[in-house]
Structure 1
Amino acid sequence: MKNATTAGYAPVNGLEMYYEIYGKGSLPLVLIHGGGSTIETTFGTMLPFLSGYGKLIAVELQAHGRTADRDTPESFEQDADDVAALLKHLKIKKANFFGFSNGGTTSMQIAIRYPGLVNKIINLSGAYRRDGFIDGFFDGFTGATLNSMPEPLQAAFLKVTPDKSRLQAMFERDVARMVNFKDIPDDLIRSIKAPALIMVSDQDVMPAEHAVKLSRLIPGGRLAVLPGAHGSCIGEMGMVTKGSRLPELTAALIEEFLNG
């Protein structure tokens, strides 16, 4: 993938929010990373495969990557507000959204809170209820320390923001958000007006059964279940089996949904 055509910071709700823009087009696809991640760790593998779509806007949310923290807890609702404010700053009135993991949950909050802004959403592995995670998922946050964070995610953060204190702050924000994760009521999920592609891997942290339920609650919901573990279908953190065409297949499914 060529370098971003535009990269910079925007004043967003008390943040200087980092974003990158690739390509051109009238209806951009906004890429929203997962927890603890940067643009590169979530979408680095996928960006070349999505380049045929047109304009891509990749963001880094509060405390993540190159975007600084602020004196408020992280929440999916606030992330949705921040992304919406960024698009307003960029003078974009409508977009598609592709979120992975926590970014998938954020994409649903954008569709709930800003229906006029959303054309379509893709939610990969983003749960909407606490029981939408595998058994024991929340146990891992009890007493979690920075050493619990995958080393590739730590290294990626420090590569773009070489400040260990900011890495620690981001980790604590993410842990607190997951410990305090609140269910999104079914009625709010049903209120999503945009067509939605719910994607999940068959060995994901979000069971496929939850993805099925979610896809049926959204009036325009569609479902895709792919083989692999959490993030493997997009080559998250650059980890993809040699010779695998799964990220390319995932990109083709996304483009087919967006162009359909």
Structure 2
Amino acid sequence: METASKNNIAFKSGYSDVNGMKMYYEIHGKGKPIVLVHGGGSTIQTNFEKVIPLLAKNREVIAVEIQAHGRTSDRNADLTFEQDADDIATLLKNLNIGKADFLGFSNGGTTTLQIAIRHPKLVNKIILGSALAKRNGVPDWFWGFMAQAKLENMPKPLQDGYKKVAPNPDGLQVMHDRDAKRMVNFKDIPDEQIKAIKAPTLIIIGDKDVILPEHALELHRQIANSELAIIPGGHGEYIGEITTLKPDFKESELVIPLIEKFLNKVEK
């Protein structure tokens, strides 16, 4: 593990041997651990650069990159949300972290659902940012778009974000194809698995999100100990995801106070 600094704030980063690949992670701040899980086609920075310094004021932020994304190596296997969940569980074991909060965005939110389902003992609280659990949770056009997905249609900030950190720029096509294939083959998470989640859960979406408000509401109804927040804006705008950034971006418009309030709440 090495220590680096960004904007003069020190953080640790490293690689861990995880189920046949080298998984990249960063650790920022001190306190109770919260694990950040990015979305498809993304890196730690393209999803979470704006929120990491804010969360790290009060917590130990462990940010990871999943298979074939950013600095993490690929392996000869398709991406699955279940495998991502198991990989993150293995990483935390390697880091000697027995329990943590989790914040997953987009595909990372779906992975966070799988962590809560498959590794409940690891989980304190979960935050599901624009998470998909059912195929009907997005408009019909989404699936046609995914079936025709081409690298050149991938948002340029995400392509640039990958190239900035990846050891092999040619991996961009691999990442894109693995993400597209995973979405084309997406299967509904069974109701009984969702209803079995006991962890306190905060569900967040934008009112102009790709995820339908009805889907977020259904998740809220199915997870007994959950809260729902629908925030004005698009997919990831509430965390300052890179493709949503505008020239007049303000940190004060992010949902960190809402997240902190949820995490700090003492469960009865």
Native 8 Å contact 1:233 1:246 kept in 2: no
- 1:65-144 residue pairs with structure 2 within 5 A? 65-144=70-149
Native 8 Å contact 1:95 1:120 kept in 2: yes
Report the alpha carbon displacement of residue 3 of structure 1 after superposing the two structures with TM. 4.2
2:251 matched to 1:255? no
Whole-Å separation in 2 of the counterparts to 1:18 and 1:2: 21
Q: Deviations over 1:91-132 (max 9, x none)?
A: 000000000000000001000001110000000001100000
| 3-state SS of 1:168 partner | helix
Residue in structure 2 matched with residue 222 of structure 1 by the alignment: 227
Report the alpha carbon displacement of residue 6 of structure 1 after superposing the two structures with TM. 1.1
Report the alpha carbon displacement of residue 244 of structure 1 after superposing the two structures with TM. 4.5
> Structure 2: which amino acid aligns with 1:91?
N
Native 8 Å contact 2:38 2:65 kept in 1: yes
Whole-Å separation in 2 of the counterparts to 1:211 and 1:2: 38
CA RMSD of aligned residues (A): 1.5
Residue in structure 1 matched with residue 210 of structure 2 by the alignment: 205
240 and 187 in structure 1: CA distance in 2 versus 1, 3 angstrom threshold: same
| 3-state SS of 1:42 partner | helix
162 and 8 in structure 1: CA distance in 2 versus 1, 3 angstrom threshold: closer
Residue in structure 2 matched with residue 7 of structure 1 by the alignment: 13
Given candidates 43, 52, 65, the residue that maps to 2:48 is 43
Moved more, 1-10 or 53-62: 1-10
2:61 matched to 1:62? no
Relative to the length of structure 1, the TM-score reads: 0.96
Residue in structure 1 matched with residue 27 of structure 2 by the alignment: 21
Native 8 Å contact 1:197 1:222 kept in 2: yes
| 3-state SS of 2:176 partner | helix
Residue in structure 2 matched with residue 53 of structure 1 by the alignment: 58
Residue in structure 1 matched with residue 238 of structure 2 by the alignment: 233
Residue in structure 1 matched with residue 4 of structure 2 by the alignment: none
> Structure 1: which amino acid aligns with 2:25?
Y
> Structure 2: which amino acid aligns with 1:75?
T
Whole-Å separation in 2 of the counterparts to 1:247 and 1:8: 31
Whole-Å separation in 1 of the counterparts to 2:244 and 2:209: 15
Native 8 Å contact 1:28 1:57 kept in 2: yes
> Structure 2: which amino acid aligns with 1:54?
R
93 and 45 in structure 1: CA distance in 2 versus 1, 3 angstrom threshold: same
Native 8 Å contact 2:239 2:254 kept in 1: no
Q: Which runs of 5+ in 1 are unaligned?
A: none
Structure 1 runs (4+) greater than 3 angstroms displaced: 1-4, 241-249
Whole-Å separation in 1 of the counterparts to 2:10 and 2:63: 10
Greater relative contact order structure (CA < 8 Å, 6+ sep) = 1
2:175 matched to 1:175? no
Whole-Å separation in 2 of the counterparts to 1:230 and 1:177: 19
Relative to the length of structure 2, the TM-score reads: 0.93
Report the alpha carbon displacement of residue 219 of structure 1 after superposing the two structures with TM. 1.1
247 and 83 in structure 1: CA distance in 2 versus 1, 3 angstrom threshold: farther
Report the alpha carbon displacement of residue 163 of structure 1 after superposing the two structures with TM. 2.6
32 and 4 in structure 1: CA distance in 2 versus 1, 3 angstrom threshold: farther
Native 8 Å contact 1:45 1:238 kept in 2: no
Whole-Å separation in 2 of the counterparts to 1:12 and 1:160: 20
Residue in structure 1 matched with residue 3 of structure 2 by the alignment: none
| 3-state SS of 1:122 partner | strand
> Structure 2: which amino acid aligns with 1:21?
I
> Structure 2: which amino acid aligns with 1:5?
F
Q: Deviations over 1:69-90 (max 9, x none)?
A: 0011100000000000000000
148 and 227 in structure 1: CA distance in 2 versus 1, 3 angstrom threshold: same
Q: Which runs of 5+ in 2 are unaligned?
A: 1-6
Q: Percent identity?
A: 54
